[in-house]
């Protein structure tokens, strides 16, 4: 049966509120009892609408694709959003319906020497999936990640990323804040302002972009139109 037709019933095993506007659901399979996917894919959450047909909302999987009995999803709160209202009312233990997996923005193999992840908001989810799924197979690549959020209060997943850094000897990660406090010592502005730091003109590089559509547009403009970068080395998924 196709991915669009098989409905997976997934139990909400854990709810993690990383920030006031970012919630993570840890989901476990019930029926069917196994769910297979490839790193980079997404699922469709069936959001109940009373008597009406459920609304479908897409979310990238944020967990290791070698796990077959569930997955993790990150949600960004949208004021008055149908899915946000539903997800933020969950208490744990509920049974949710999903279809999938969908999407073809896969980790490109064989990989290039350098992998650059540029993400904003919950666009981190897809790149986490790549790193968790491929770290044992490709531990010695040059991994670089810039994670764009607004303020210090919007920062999350630091501990999990630090754990990945322990497993990957050449993985460097930084937050980029667009509206930091005056005493913020890290990068300020937007992730697209810092791509020249990666020396991608001299090091074989693949870019993975996930999150804000404006960020993706700006990075593609710089790489493709200004630098003449190989378009087959840019993989993007917009979260708007």
Per-residue pLDDT tens digits of the chain, which is 240 residues long: 466 689 999 999 999 999 999 999 999 999 999 999 999 999 999 999 989 999 999 999 999 999 999 999 999 999 999 999 999 999 999 999 999 999 999 999 999 999 999 999 999 999 999 999 999 999 999 999 999 999 999 999 999 999 999 999 999 999 999 999 999 999 999 999 999 999 999 999 999 999 999 999 999 999 999 999 999 999 999 986
Q: What is the pTM of this model?
A: 0.95
- Domains present along the chain, CATH in parentheses: 8-102 (2.40.30.10), 114-238 (3.40.50.80)
State how far the alpha carbon of 121 is from the alpha carbons of 1, 5, 41, 149, 213, in Å.
Answer: 34, 30, 17, 6, 12
What is the predicted pLDDT for the residue at 146? 98
Cis peptide before 169 (omega within 30 of 0): no
pLDDT of residue 3: 67
Q: Among 77, 123, 106, 75, which Cα is nearest to 232's? A: 106
pLDDT at 124: 97
Please tell me the predicted confidence (pLDDT) of residue 204.
98
Tell me the Ramachandran region of residue 126: left when phi exceeds 0, alpha when psi lies from -120 to 50, beta otherwise. Answer: alpha
pLDDT at 38: 98
**169: Cα separation from own chain's centroid:** 22
């Amino acid at each position: 049966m196709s991915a669009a037709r098989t409905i997976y019933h997934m139990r909400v095993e854990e709810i993690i509120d990383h920030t006031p506007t970012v919630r993570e659901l840890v989901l476990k399979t019930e029926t069917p009892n196994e769910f297979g996917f490839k790193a980079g894919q997404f699922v469709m959450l069936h959001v109940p609408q009373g008597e009406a047909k459920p609304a479908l909302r897409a979310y990238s999987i944020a967990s290791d694709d070698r796990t077959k009995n569930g997955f993790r999803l990150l949600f960004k709160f949208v004021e008055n959003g149908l899915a946000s209202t539903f997800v933020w009312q969950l208490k744990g233990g509920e049974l949710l319906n999903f279809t999938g997996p969908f999407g073809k923005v896969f980790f490109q193999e064989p990989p290039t020497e350098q992998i650059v992840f540029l993400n904003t908001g919950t666009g981190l989810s897809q790149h986490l999936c790549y790193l968790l799924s491929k770290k044992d197979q490709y531990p010695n690549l040059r991994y670089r990640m810039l994670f764009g959020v607004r303020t210090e209060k919007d920062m999350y997943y630091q501990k999990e990323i630090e754990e990945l850094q322990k497993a990957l000897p050449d993985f460097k990660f930084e937050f980029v804040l667009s509206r930091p406090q005056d005493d913020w010592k890290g990068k300020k502005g937007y992730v697209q302002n810092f791509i020249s730091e990666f020396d991608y003109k001299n090091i074989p590089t693949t870019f993975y972009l996930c999150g804000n559509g404006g960020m993706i547009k700006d990075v593609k403009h710089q790489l493709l139109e200004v630098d003449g970068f190989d378009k087959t080395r840019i993989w993007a998924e917009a979260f708007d």
